[in-house]
A = this chain, B = another copy of it.
Amino acid sequence: MSVPPDDVLRRIALFRRLPVDARTRIAQVARLKTYERGDLIFTEGDPGDVFIAIVTGRVKVFKSTPAGKEIILEIFGAGDPLGAVAVYEGMPFPASAITLEATECLRIDQPSFFKLLEQDPALVRGLLSGLTLRLAELTRRLAELTGARVETRFARLFLKLCDQIGQPARGGVFVGMPLSRQELADLTGTTIETAIRIMSRWQKEDVLHTEKDGFVIIDRGALDEASAS
């Protein structure tokens, strides 16, 4: 744990637009913490008594289903807030968070966070719109997950990744997000075998190639078609 300099705070989307003196107040109560790949940041049911934001790295937020499987709710990256959902009302976290790679997080304990909120209405507005966006996103995922074939869900997942972080390279569009077959399955709410089957077929049909550091989408048209049906 260490005290964050101002340029680190400016990397958090929520804090970026605040005036400088507000960020210095934040710096006084925030602490940096580093995690290795695979570290648990918090677990479903933990008391939500801390606000967390990602400075560098990638974090997977997931929830266990009653049947014991796990489903990935979202994958967050640098600048995203993490504990905003629960820090209010001291609610327990509704899901767990685990790092996908070495990650640096900024942490503010609940009392300090509340004080900051009182001092800065812009922070509250930022939180509100963040929650709103996340709610809309979850709503969308809920509608997508139900009643569609697994292949359709896979196509939509990759189309979303393609549009969000894809960049032209290697004879197609490169998505620099390495995900295991298991993680793909958890993102789409299916089993690892089905995930492997679909990815193998797409590999053969030159729709999508798996590489060490991500995926290359070669035939976007095929994905568009699969996402429609």
* A interface residues with partner B (beta carbon < 8 Å): 63-67, 69, 71, 73, 85-86, 88-89, 91, 94-95, 118, 121, 124-125, 127-129, 131-136, 138-148, 152, 156, 189-190, 227-228
Given contacts A131-B131, A132-B89, A135-B85, contact A142 B73 (CB under 8 A): yes
Enumerate the 9 nearest inter-chain pairs by beta-carbon distance, A residue then B residue, closest first: A146-B189, A94-B136, A131-B131, A94-B139, A63-B143, A65-B143, A88-B132, A138-B138, A89-B129
Note all chain B residues with C-beta closer than 8 A to A138. 135, 138-139, 142
The reply to whether A148 and B65 form a contact with Cβ atoms under 8 Å apart is yes
State in angstroms the CA–CA spacing of A142 and B66 once bound together.
Answer: 11
Q: How far is the CB of A195 from chain B (nearest CB, A)?
A: 13
Residues of B within 8 A of A132 (CB): 85-86, 88-89, 91, 131
Copies of this chain held together in the complex:
2
Residues of chain B within 8 A (CB-CB) of A135 are 85, 94, 131, 134-135, 138
Name which residue of chain B comes closest to A156, CB basis.
B66
Q: With A and B bound together, what is the CA distance between A121 and B190 in angstroms?
A: 43
CB closest residue in chain B, given A131:
B131
A139 to chain B: which residues have CB within 8 Å? 63, 73, 94-95, 138
Q: Given the complex, which residues of B lie within 8 Å of A134, measured CB to CB?
A: 135
**A64–B142 CB distance below 8 A:** no
Residue on B nearest A70 in the bound complex, by CB:
B143
Assess the A145–B144 pair: CB atoms within 8 A.
no
Is there an interface contact between B143 and A71, defined as CB atoms closer than 8 Å?
A: yes
Which residue from chain B places its CB closest to the CB of A114 in the assembled complex? B125
| 17 additional contacts (CB under 8 A) given A65-B146, A65-B147, A66-B143 | A63-B139, A63-B142, A64-B143, A65-B143, A65-B148, A66-B227, A69-B146, A69-B147, A71-B142, A88-B128, A88-B132, A91-B133, A91-B136, A94-B136, A95-B139, A142-B145, A145-B146
